Amino acid sequence: MKTIFVTLVAAMIATQSFAADTKAADDSLKKISTYEATNYYDQEVIVTGKVTQVTIRQKVTFLNLDKSYPNSPFTVVIFHGHSSFFGDANALKGKNIEIKGTIKNYNDKPEIALDNTNQLTVVGVTNLDLFLKPQHKSSSTNTTSATPSGKLPDIM
């Protein structure tokens, strides 16, 4: 019993330490608006903005922030097959988001390529997976679920 208690306490301390380290790493990054992004090429920052346009192509998805293309001051790029992003990107339209990553210059426009969902935070949403998870009604139980296999569909 004493061993279980010590193990639980150690696990709690390790979890809190990891969470604090992750938070500290995020806190050290500068938060900027989409309009400031051109001043931070090749720097890791957190860019904040509102998703105004979602464009899903065969090999890539674009999230344009604060204005629609071609006037968008910032674009989030999701390459299909090179990302752990699963879910309905259209669910992000109209939402305020934060994107963490290194800003790259693509055709004189700032962008961040999304490699995993940890880079994207929807402001006011605590669980991104549930937010993006498509809801399907089951005809027999009237409950929602992912897909018959239990996996989220890959829209990419």
Name which of 78, 90, 100, 79 is nearest 131 in CA terms.
90
Q: Please compute the mean of the pLDDT values over residues 80-106 and round it to a whole number.
A: 88
Residue 44 has pLDDT above 80, yes or no: yes
Residue 76: strand pairing partners? 63, 112
Of 54-63, 104-113, 138-147, highest mean pLDDT: 104-113
- Per-residue pLDDT for 140 more than 80? no
Give the up-direction half-sphere exposure of residue 48: CA atoms within 13 A in the CB hemisphere.
8
Question: What's the mean pLDDT in 14-29?
Answer: 54
Q: Running DSSP on this structure, what letter comes out for residue 115?
A: -
Q: How far is CA 42 from CA 37, 39, 91, in A?
A: 10, 10, 29
Q: Which residues of 100-125 are buried (b: 16+ CB within 10 A; e: fewer)?
A: bbebeeeeebbbbbbeeeebbbbeeb
At residue 115, the pLDDT reads 87
Residue 143 above 50 pLDDT? no
- Would you call 119 helix, strand, or coil by DSSP? helix
Per-residue pLDDT tens digits for 47-81: 999 999 999 998 999 999 999 999 999 999 998 88
Query: What SS3 class is residue 96?
Result: strand
Please give the Cα distance from 131 to 140 (Å, whole number).
Answer: 24
Return the percentage of the chain with pLDDT > 90, whole number. 50
Q: Dihedral of CA 146/150/152/156: which sign?
A: negative
> Looking at the predicted structure, is the pLDDT value of residue 22 above 90?
no
Instruction: Give CA 22 to chain center in angstroms.
Output: 16
pLDDT at 102: 98
DSSP label at residue 82: S
- pLDDT for residue 37: 98
Percent of the chain with pLDDT over 70: 60
